[in-house]
Amino acid sequence: MAKMVEGRVCIVTGAGRGIGREHALMLAEHGAKVVVNDLGGSPEGTGSDVGPAQQVVDEITGFGGQAVANTDDVSDFEGAKRMVHQAIETFGRLDVLVNNAGILRDRMLVNMTEGEWDAVVKVHLKGTFSPTRHAAEYWREQVKAGNTVDARVINTTSVSGIYGNPGQTNYGAAKMGIGAFTIISSMELARYGITVNAIAPGALTRLTEPLMGGAITEEIREAQSPRWIAPICVWLASVESAGVTGRVFEASGQFLAIAESWHRGPSVTPVDDPTQLGPIVADLVARARPNADMGGQDRV
């Protein structure tokens, strides 16, 4: 089997379980040296444990790969800096950052607490910004020093964010924010040889399995296995993906797709009298495409 990321140094956050674990294992199978980051907390983001990250490192070294564990909190700015520096100090460089760490604290909006909002937004949104900020600084300094950079940032968004899902205003808002972060940072970082893309995965993990609300058949479990998400992550991490940036890929056991971002829909000449807007807005809404459902199709 050809190794797509031979010798490339990758950080994968939230890599102790689920999708992140599959990313780390497949990257290592394809020749990458991996920093396996995982705080080791609960699905709600409480507690810490080096065990999950170290177990993945042991799996990787067990089949002859190279990996090291990291348990920094990705939403802590200094912790994210330590993680980036650990990759550079351990393996001599950094080529790929996969921002995957996340938590859930689902609640309907009218019952959501400030703490539930803050915790989810911090881990997902700040936990994407902080490692990216430090990795981008490293790559920019490499360019200033005259070195060639061919780097990757791969973020994790969600269909809950790009399409919307009741009970997840905190999670969905953070994931939609990651989509915007992906697009804007891809514009800013292109000059340094850095691409930025995102993956919206569909998979059964310890975070999502409780949301299924019933018996999960083996067919469903296979179609929603986290292993289906890793191939697009590995491809995006490779040098082959250099021409692709600012994109969001939906990935699951059913399909691989591009999620298209907001586009301007029907429009009219503006008016300065709000009393005239009733029929105008009604016409615009009637001609506009409905918002997508969780399957990415027109909501009916």
Give the phi and the psi of residue 249 in degrees, each rounded to 5.
Answer: -105, 130
**d(C-alpha 110, C-alpha 61), whole Å:** 48
What is the full DSSP assignment across 212-261?
Answer: G-S---HHHHHHT-GGGTHHHHHHHHSGGGTT--S-EEEESSS-EEEPP-
**d(C-alpha 266, C-alpha 257), whole Å:** 25
Q: How far is CA 75 from CA 29, 124, 157, 212, in A?
A: 28, 8, 16, 28
**d(C-alpha 75, C-alpha 271), whole Å:** 45
**d(C-alpha 176, C-alpha 170), whole Å:** 10
User: Alpha helices of 151-212 — where are they, by DSSP H?
Assistant: 159-162, 169-189
Residues with catalytic annotation? Answer: 171
In terms of DSSP bridges, do strands 248-251 and 256-258 run parallel, antiparallel, or are they unpaired? antiparallel
Q: Enumerate residues 6+ apart whose C-beta is below 8 A from 69.
A: 36, 37, 38, 50, 53, 54, 56, 57
The HSE-up count of residue 136 (CA atoms within 13 Å, CB side) is: 19
Amino acid code (one letter) for 33: K
